[in-house]
Amino acid sequence: MLVLSLPSDPGLGRELARLLNLRYSEVIHKVFPDGESYLRFPEISEDRVMLVLTSYPDQNRSILELFFAIDLLSSKSIKEIYALMPYLAYSRQDKEFLSWEIVSGRAILKVMKSMGLKKLLIVDLHSEKLSEEFSDLVINILPIKTFGQYVKNRVEEPYILIAPDVGASKRVKLVAEFLNKEYVTIKKLRDRMTGEIIHELPEDLDVKGINAVIIDDIISTGGTIANITKYLRSRGARRIYVLASHGLFVGDSLNRLRASGVDKVVVLNTVNYRLTSDLIEYLDVTNEVADYIKKNLI
């Protein structure tokens, strides 16, 4: 298998190839004055190729360049084409919320599948619905060991693991099992009079004086995490850690998180956007991805 980095690779490709003892290469890339992408591939002798890229920021260009790559490799009779895209853009649009709305996550995966992509490896896919609908294409790698080791080594006891909503419970449950700890799920309620979102812990749970670890998949504007942090502060939590797979940090999210009282935000190297801040720490998920590939694809 050849590991081949596309222009939007967030830095996983070379290390992945080293860990798996595979040949590594990159494409020649430029952007024409009118904004169109140009890609040229190296000569490929392998019959299996793992493309490495991500889809944030500039998600539209990254996804289109993946389509170009699949098309070229198919035309050259490469037998098996894989893609590692640790963050899949549009995955939050996984159903028709309003009539005649485009389900963009589904559309993107349909195109990949129809073009001949064998497997798409994603780190912590937001949509369980898309994962189930495209179970023959999508491999969802949850960063359980990466997050679990961080908590074990860096978070002082006593602490509690928190799922910010029901959708995050599966992820947090697996981390809790790795650490042999319990976890709780935040209740999310909407005030019928004001429309304000209210967060609540189970009534019998006391977090006063203990550390709280919130685990989620995406930090975008930071609004949800900020609201939960303020609530935990009001309940007397000591230090508050936020672990998320994908740090998009849109707009004023960093200041919003800091103002809420978060002590540390920990995200993975799944996107091509990094903030330099004492509040943020980045973890490398490459080892966990390599372990999956070694056990299941090589």
Going from the N-terminus, what domains does the chain have, and what CATH number goes with each? 2-141 (3.40.50.2020), 144-283 (3.40.50.2020)
pLDDT in tens, 79-114: 999 999 999 999 999 999 999 999 999 999 999 999
**What confidence score (pLDDT) does residue 93 get?**
93
The residues with which 267 forms a beta bridge, in sequence order, are 244, 282
**Exposure string for 210-221, b = 16+ CB within 10 A, e = fewer:** ebbbbbbbbbbe
Number of CB atoms found within 10 A of residue 274's CB = 14
pLDDT in tens, 231-274: 999 999 999 999 999 999 999 999 999 999 999 999 999 999 99
**What confidence score (pLDDT) does residue 190 get?**
64
Cα–Cα distance measured from residue 290 to residue 57, given in angstroms and rounded to the nearest whole number:
24
Beta strand 23-26 with 48-52 is unpaired
**What confidence score (pLDDT) does residue 195 get?**
63
Cα–Cα distance measured from residue 212 to residue 263, given in angstroms and rounded to the nearest whole number:
10
Question: Which residue is catalytic, options 110, 113, 173, 188?
Answer: 188
Cα–Cα distance measured from residue 252 to residue 233, given in angstroms and rounded to the nearest whole number:
21
Instruction: Give pTM, 2 decimals.
Output: 0.95
- pLDDT < 70 regions, the chain: 190-195
Residue 138 near residue 131, CB atoms below 8 Å: yes
Query: Known catalytic residue: 170?
Result: no
Cα–Cα distance measured from residue 146 to residue 171, given in angstroms and rounded to the nearest whole number:
12
**What confidence score (pLDDT) does residue 200 get?**
75
Residue 286 near residue 10, CB atoms below 8 Å: no
Which of 16, 80, 35, 88 shows the shortest CA–CA distance to 59? Answer: 88
